[in-house]
Amino acid sequence: MNWFHWLTIWAAFLQAGISHAIQLSIDDDDSIKSAAEQAAHGMFMWYSGNETGQNPGAFPEKWWEGSALFMAALQYWKYTGDTTYNAETSQGMEHQSGDAGDYMPSNYSTYLGNDDQGFWGLAAMLAAELQFPDVKDGFSWLSLAQGVFNTQVERWDTTSCGGGLRWQLFTYQAGYAMKNTISNGVLFQLSARLARYTNNQTYADWAEKIYDWMGSTPLLNEDTWHIADSVNIDDNCKSPGDNQWSYNYGTFIVGSAYMYNYTNDDKWLKRVNGFLGTTFSTFFPKNFGGNTMQEPCEPLEVCNNNEILFKGLVTSWLAYTALFIPSTKDKIQPKLKASAEAAADSCVGMGNNTCGVRWYQHKWDGWNGMEEQIIATNVFTSNLIIESSDKGPVTSDTGGDSKSNPNAGSSSDGDDGGQTLKKITTGDKAGAGILTALFVGVWVGMVAFMITGAG
């Protein structure tokens, strides 16, 4: 009997070690939904904010990642119809909104960057656009996006480099002396989306202003369609940190797509196509077939949790770009399909469909975490988004009913709190990272070495 007992244990061990990839037929919506279901389940296995005594929506030392989790959950709900995670999503997004409804919660606001707050604004904007129900007796999703916008435009800094947002908010933060692409890019995207949703020209004027300021610095170059990562205020923003990250391009692609949808101005179409070209050549390398997405930090296995999330965000943004600009679909869709198939092949870890980071390997690479599950969920749902013209982001005129509050939010900087929607002046027009301060110096040096080493 003893030998039978051990044989049973050994058989169970062998069975647990057998890994089965997420089965994905990329042209079958039901198969894609099944893959997304499995990835989303893994994503929320890492979330405990809904448990007694926990802080809904928050993750210690990586607060902004809650916004990435909930953006993935919102898209999963909208494009699969599965409401499993809706309660956690509503609770977490509302709980982290802060007393003033601007995503500056007291527990985290003392060390945040503009990009951290901005991503939560995008999450709220997405909820409004996808018609996710507002929370009764809470802040509306649209007002939360407006609250983030209002607090951030009040931080627009003309004391150096002619404008722009600083990376971080306070003088004691190392990132305070930098202006970076993602902080400004997220505000650009948020402005464009608010303009389209509300049909308020002031938001569009801000999107134009942010884009023009970026183009006046080494951060954005329309001759080469190259986007740098950051500049230092000490040299008046003359010398760019040239690290290449997909989300810097992605936020300007989708923001420009929203602006094209809102204005029908061909300059925005030109910008979408220009940045798409660089994105495809940089983040879909030919040595892996040209259609599977890769972040430059992946080959040397030096991606941190923040950086793992970037390509998941971008795949979703590419899908929405194809919805707004159908002429881009034939270029974007093969990359979303191949990346989803590769991601599914990576989800064979730990005997429970755990997903990896380096999709191009078509196997599990030994990495695991919430971030890996988020990006897999994103790339699966992006293939549903791109075929869902009847479920695209709505506006207040096409079914959006999230309550507006143009004066939402308050200031953390001692100014007037953004209580009026700040208009663009003639002078403004003429003037035209998500890591903690502890890691700024190490990050810059490490990534410069990484990019050189990765070739």
Rg (Cα) of the chain, in Å, rounded? 22
**Mean pLDDT of the 64-73 span:** 98
What rounded mean pLDDT belongs to the chain?
Answer: 88
pLDDT at 431: 37
How much is the average pLDDT of 100-119? Answer: 92
Q: Please check whether residue 235 is in contact with residue 217, taking contact to mean a CB–CB distance below 8 angstroms.
A: no
Q: Which has the higher per-residue pLDDT, 215 or 428?
A: 215
Stretch (H or E) spanning 220: strand 220-221
- Position 432 scores a pLDDT of 36
Convert the pLDDT of each residue in 230-285 to its tens digit: 999 999 999 999 899 999 999 999 999 999 999 999 999 999 999 999 999 999 99
The amino acid occupying position 430 is A
Task: Give the range among 52-56, 118-122, 435-439 with minimum mean pLDDT.
Answer: 435-439
Residue-wise pLDDT for 155-211, tens only, equals 999 999 999 999 999 999 989 999 999 999 999 999 999 999 999 999 999 999 999
Contact 43, 374 (CB under 8 A): yes
The pLDDT score that the predictor gives to residue 437 is 37
The helix or strand, by DSSP H or E, that contains position 227, with its residue range, turns out to be: strand 226-227
**109 pLDDT higher than 50:** yes
Residue type, 38: Q
Which pLDDT score is estimated for 258? 98
pLDDT tens by residue, 353-408 = 999 999 999 999 999 999 999 999 999 999 999 999 999 999 999 999 999 999 99
Q: How far apart are CA 74 and CA 377, in angstroms?
A: 11
Q: Express as a percent the part of the chain with pLDDT over 70.
A: 85
Indicate if the pLDDT at residue 221 is higher than 90.
Answer: yes
pTM here? 0.88
Q: What is the pLDDT of residue 60?
A: 77
The pLDDT score that the predictor gives to residue 410 is: 66
CATH number 1.50.10.20 given to 20-454: yes
Average pLDDT over residues 286-305: 96
Task: Please give the share of the chain, as a percent, with pLDDT higher than 90.
Answer: 82
Per-residue CA distances from 301 to 127, 328, 422, 433 (Å): 33, 32, 44, 18
Tell me which of 435 and 348 has the higher pLDDT.
348
